[in-house]
Amino acid sequence: MATPLSDALLICEHCDTVYRRRPLARGEVAQCQRCRAVLERHQGLSVNALLALVLTALIMFVQANVWPIITLGLNGQYSNSTLWGMIIAMWREQAKVVSVLAAFTLFFFPLLKMLTLGWLLWFARSGRRAPGFTPMMVTLHYIGPWTMSEVFVLGALVAIVKAHVYFDVLADPGIYAYAVLTLLITIFAGVDLRRLWALTAERGG
């Protein structure tokens, strides 16, 4: 069975002080009594709500990568491109390092994060730990800083403003899909996934 939240332990990442976790009320923040570091914040989203957000993010991710991102026009001729179209163009223009970084931070890492999180939450709905729970939690911890959709959206908006001086620039549906995806990823970043350890039980436990 899953460990009751009131019986789970909470360890300060800064000074290693151990506390017994208790449910937090809305707006409450648990702080370490020794170093005053934030241990945990109240999480208003349930497992089902998080899973619904993950599925929504996956839908937006597909749309963001299928739809064109931007259209450039010059002398009556227009051309648009998707994310992968830009990555391939950078590869062909000998900007291979940039294209590889863009592919991983804008496609592979976000996709891996959403699929992994969805897999864990699917089993967590019934209080169980998914197969591969521990390595997947470690993976989420390390790839979190490398999902840079928000950087891409901000960079694209700046590029659109600057390019408007020389071209007719139209923002296509793909950039709006990426903006929504960025908002969803930001919500995920604010969720303490460590609570899945307390909310789920090991297989056969």
User: Considering the entire predicted model, what is its pTM?
Assistant: 0.71
Q: Is 145 part of any domain? A: yes
Kindly state whether residues 3 and 87 are assigned to the same domain. Answer: no
Which percentage of the chain shows pLDDT scores above 90?
Answer: 5
Phi, psi of 151 (to 5 degrees): -65, -40
pLDDT number for residue 37:
76
30 and 127 share one domain: no
Contact at 8 Å (CB) between 176 and 160?
Answer: no
User: What integer pLDDT is reported at residue 56 of this predicted model?
Assistant: 92
Mean pLDDT of the chain: 77
- Whether 53 has a pLDDT exceeding 50, the answer reads yes
Question: Counting every residue, how long is the chain?
Answer: 205
pLDDT interval class at 26 (50, 70, 90): low
Are 8 and 58 in a shared domain?
no
Q: What's the rounded Cα separation, in Å, for the pair 13 and 135?
A: 19
56 domain residue, yes or no: yes
Domain that holds residue 165: 46-199
123 and 195 share a domain? Answer: yes
Task: Clarify whether residues 17 and 72 are in a common domain.
Answer: no
- Do 66 and 38 lie in a common domain? no
pLDDT at 23 over 60: yes
pLDDT at 115: 92
Same-domain status, 155 and 177? yes
As a whole number, mean pLDDT of residues 23-47 equals: 73
> Can you list the pairs that 79-85 forms with residues at least 24 positions away whose Cβ atoms lie under 8 Å?
80/170, 80/172, 82/174, 83/107, 83/174
Q: What is the pLDDT of residues 106-143, one digit of tens each?
A: 888 888 888 999 999 999 888 888 888 889 888 888 88
The verdict on residue 204 lying in a domain is no
The confidence score (pLDDT) of residue 150 equals 61
For 152-190, what is each residue's pLDDT tens digit? Answer: 666 666 666 666 666 677 778 888 888 888 888 777 777
